[in-house]
Amino acid sequence: MAILAVLTGTAAAVQARTKDALIARAKSFELDTPYVPPPGDPLTHHAAGFAKVMCSAVFMTGLAPDFAAGNVGFFTAPYGQRAKLGKPVIDRANKAVHVTLPNGVTRTAKYLGSQGCVTFPIGQSAMNFKPVAVKSRLPDPATQLWPMGDMLPQDPLPTEIDAEKLKAAVNAAFQPAEGLTAAFVVTWKGRLIAERYAEGVTAQTPLESWSMGKSITATLFGILVKDGVYDLDQPAPIPEWQTPGDPRAKIRIADLLHMSSGLRSKAPQDPDYDPTGPYPDHVYLYTGGIDSFHYAATRPLQWPPNTVGRYRNTDPVLINYLIRLGVEKSGDEYLSFPQRVLFDKLGIRTMVIETDPFGNFLGQGYEVGSGRDWARLGNLYLQGGVWNGERILPQGYTTFVSTLAPAWAADNRPIYGAFFWLNGDGQYPVPRDAYYMAGAGGQTTLIIPSHDLVVVRLGHYRGESYAASGFSKALALLIEAVPKAQKARAQEFDNRGHNGPGEQSKNIENRVNEAIGSPVGK
């Protein structure tokens, strides 16, 4: 016990020193710009978050209301705050959820079909956009083999796989029961070799996924890069930044993707975050019932771009803004863009990205998807951005997203790439080449190139802290269950016969080289 206490104290001291160093370094670059907190009362925002979480859980995932209220989505509506609000009213006839505050104000979220559940602006009972019915062009998944469909081969497991350890890994992922794991899916070399679901959940159930949506945003943006709509090195053409002399005009697209824009906002992940302070912009971008794109675009600079890395929703919201601008400039329909250019290509049928009340995708983390569909997206990255012989992402892009961002390197935090997290600090018991999509509540899609593995774990929010140990044990067993890949990491800068490397590919390669070799700051 004494030894454990010493070790715990030492770890806490190291963590405190690291936190102090992060704060001090950021202060050395701080610009003299004002911080204006989000308007409105925090409990009103919590009510909006509660209504939306309940709406998605009931009308999209199919959970019982009482279970959802006690276990799902505390990120935008903390459990303790829910007790201060009225019990959610589930309006099944209109597919809406209403949550009333003690002062009588009601916040409402409504299920809109292809746009998922959307929060009404406060005091309003209508949206500021016309919903669009998005239709998949794919046939019934029961008629297609995996990965384009849900039919699985009946062949026995390859002999290289240790079946007992694989089975033990799946069992570990669901331990303890308090972890509330809902889905666990494992693929090896693209083949689905193991999966398990909680009672009431199936391979087609769309589940809360939270900030794994940032990786969808990176993927959609990568498609626009491949198509020549944008270049990673160009200044981000945000309309609100085009006034002559606006210092934000120097923020590059790559800086946004690297969570290094320098925009001033507050997020719970900030090392100096004060939970007793103003309601965080990071969460307001979900719950405000506002034009999220305009709000993010009107934040001032806190630091010069590409100097300080901070996990803040302003950056993925603005990449989503650029996606909308790029799609609509080309004359394409925006709300069907993800299904048309990505989901239909990969066999994804359950994924829905929800919007704000102005029809802007909240791709920083308001989306649902099944375990299998997240595995499909993970395999696109494992395969270097190529799917069924077609290059979906530009050459070098999967290396770009999985390479340490320069500003995070300068802070000695080897954990973030471009809307993907890195295993650079050994958070998971897998090789350091692993990178992953991550969302609140323990949502994870882990790509492990050194072992040809993609591992998906989805669960209900309340269980996150309990589930961590079982997930780590499952990963350690999986690494033992499958052989190492023949190539430790696929290099993507070779021409694999899918569109030769053009200027855009060279630009991406240059960005990767810069990210690897040129940390910013001191």
Across the range 313-332, mean pLDDT stands at: 98
CA atoms within 13 A on the CB side of 9: 6
Query: pLDDT value at position 14?
Result: 73
Predicted confidence (pLDDT) at residue 19 exceeds the cutoff of 50: yes
Across the range 155-164, mean pLDDT stands at: 96
Q: Residue 163 — φ and ψ, nearest 5°? A: -65, -35
Query: pLDDT value at position 140?
Result: 96
| DSSP code at position 118 | E
Predicted confidence (pLDDT) at residue 428 exceeds the cutoff of 80: yes
Query: pLDDT value at position 346?
Result: 98
Q: Residue 494 — φ and ψ, nearest 5°? A: -85, 160
High-pLDDT (> 70) share of the chain, %: 91
Predicted confidence (pLDDT) at residue 238 exceeds the cutoff of 80: yes
pTM: 0.93
Instruction: Enumerate the β-bridge partners of residue 422.
Output: 435
Structure token pair of residue 71: 């276990």
**In 3D, which of 467, 420, 377 has the Cα closest to residue 182?**
467
Encode pLDDT of 367-392 as tens digits.
999 999 999 999 999 999 999 999 99
CA 332 – CA 87 distance, rounded (Å): 41
Band (8; pLDDT cuts 50, 70, 90): low
Across the range 199-227, mean pLDDT stands at: 98
Predicted confidence (pLDDT) at residue 519 exceeds the cutoff of 70: no
CA 248 – CA 318 distance, rounded (Å): 12
Band (126; pLDDT cuts 50, 70, 90): confident
Query: pLDDT value at position 9?
Result: 62
Across the range 511-517, mean pLDDT stands at: 42
Band (512; pLDDT cuts 50, 70, 90): very low
Angle at 480 between CA 476 and CA 484, to 5 degrees: 115
